[in-house]
Amino acid sequence: MSVIGVWVIGSVSDEGVAEVLRAAVESSRAPRPLAGNRDVSGALAWWRDRADASMFSTSATRPGDWVAEDDAYRLNDFLDGCRDDSGQVEALRDAVMELFPPEGDEGLFAATARKASPFSALAYALGPDATLQLPGWFGDFLLDSGEVGPRLREAEEALALTGSRRRDVVERIHAWMTGLGDDPGHDAEELLDGPLRVLRHAARTGQGVAGHVRWY
């Protein structure tokens, strides 16, 4: 059975988030599962050492696609391991997502991929230092309206790419999506543009933002 990786980001009102967090505290759920405390220093040092090298080789049987090497699986395991998938945290993610605007709204971004996490594809493409400029903890975050502006500026440095840098990132996203995933038709450009669109919308409208990495 196939799995679907999802990265969803949506604008949220401060009032709605406060109510969700209040309910989480009252039911003894962790109120903010988005600032992980796992010691990642060793893994980050390894990733930085390998960040400029490709972790994929070209496919001999599928022109234009890629084949994952051992380092790609190692990075994938690290990124997956940074995610808290406990029942309490998943329930809180569900509650926050209920606050998101409807599909098609400027304040909502969602990327999906068969057998691959869109966030992990982006992280591989950007490298560790740019990934750490994104809000939260490896794709999971919850910002109130006052936090959006400062984090938007950092996200713009990481994602507002042009020229050869953007082309290289798009190609690396494609390698991840076809080498580890089964999604040759993904929209790599939207993985760069969509998160910024939601963050800018939230800053412009005085809202907060939440993002979740999920598997279905």
157 backbone φψ class: left, alpha, beta (φ>0; ψ -120 to 50):
alpha
Smallest CA-to-CA distance from 67 within 186, 192, 174, 189 is with 174
What confidence tens digit (pLDDT) does each residue in 52-92 have? 999 999 888 887 789 999 999 999 999 999 999 888 889 99
Looking at residue 62, what is its pLDDT?
80
The vertex-76 CA angle with 70 and 80, nearest 5°, equals 150
**C-alpha gyration radius of the chain:** 17
**Number of separate domains in the chain:** 1
The structure's pTM equals 0.92
What confidence tens digit (pLDDT) does each residue in 122-154 have? 999 999 999 999 999 999 999 999 999 999 999
In the predicted model, what is the mean pLDDT of residues 98-115? 97
Phi, then psi, of 114 in degrees rounded to 5: -75, 125
Which position has the higher pLDDT, 37 or 169?
A: 169
Domain residues for the domain of 56 are 4-215
